[in-house]
Amino acid sequence: MIILTGGAGFIGANTLNSLNKTGRDDILIVDHIASTDKWKNLVGGSFRQYIHKQHLWEWFESNRDVKIEMIIHLGACSDTMEYDFDYHVQNNIEYTKKLWKICSNKQIPLIYASSAATYGDGTSGFLDDHKLVSKLQPINPYGYSKHLFDLWALKQKKTPSKWYGLKFFNVYGPYENHKGRMASVAYFTIPQAEKDGEIRLFKSYLADYGDGEQKRDFVYVQDAIDIMMFFMKASAPSGLYNAGSGKASTFNALAGAIFKAMNKTNRIKYFDMPEALKDKYQYYTEADMSKLLATGYDYRPTSIEQGIGLYYQWYLEHGF
């Protein structure tokens, strides 16, 4: 059996679909759906059982004889604008520690979601070298909570049989409808371009970057899933790994890809960034993917034009 936490979420739902395509349906979905629309992400997926995240510990007690092949832990508070640090600690650190200890005791492989938010404003670079982790300075509580767990994991002498903390960069693609303000820029701008014929982007407040010239490592969600699938099967060294495209693209380029997919003329309008975001905004992210490539993984990331084209087709079929 595979345990998939956050299985009704964005990356989780795509992971479920990919596992199903390989013939796997012996999957325990763990999440906290409550009254949200995340349940829709599970429709059409095949899995054995869904349980609330707080009931997972009881499930372990009641299913001691079940052979668990892997735990993929994607469940977390991923809201970079959530400033309740204690909430982040409970969700992103303490919960993951409990899973880690179970995996260590039972020698179950573990994949967990770290984040590119651990890199902060990027002044320390984007290299997933364990020797550099302690130098990173996240700029929001979410990133700091992920960073603290990464530091904790690297100090542990007792570990799962193999473990991978994946630092996801700016992932975009199907099944992010429920994410609200934390959905990708593509999620918000595709309907804008469809309805209004224009895309609205943040102005820049740094002299080195023109409006819309801020850069992000946009990674299509299937690329992120494929990296996880590789680590499920591979015997690569345990540790932290970047999960990005390896190429920074401007927001203007993203908008251009959307207009191209729609066969429309580029029309971009720049607007003021919220005050609360100005001193916590990343102007540049680009994953260094050399560590992943050194494992032997033949990584061929989807280009921004290809990824947006695929996402737009999904939007036409399913809507947002």
Residues that are catalytic: 142, 179
Structure tokens at 230: 């590789």
Q: Is-contact 2 72, C-beta < 8 A? A: yes
* Cα separation, 26 vs 47, whole angstroms: 6
* Cα separation, 36 vs 12, whole angstroms: 15
Q: What are phi and psi of 126, to 5 degrees?
A: -130, 45
* Cα separation, 115 vs 178, whole angstroms: 19
* Cα separation, 82 vs 17, whole angstroms: 29
Q: Is-contact 77 49, C-beta < 8 A? A: no
Structure tokens at 201: 């982007």
SS3 state at 130: helix
Conformation bin of residue 224: beta by default, left when phi > 0, alpha when psi is -120 to 50: alpha
Which residues does residue 70 pair with via DSSP β-bridges, in sequence order?
2
Return contacts of 87-92, CB within 8 angstroms, 24+ apart: 88/141, 88/142, 88/144, 88/145, 89/145, 89/148, 91/145, 92/142, 92/145, 92/146, 92/149
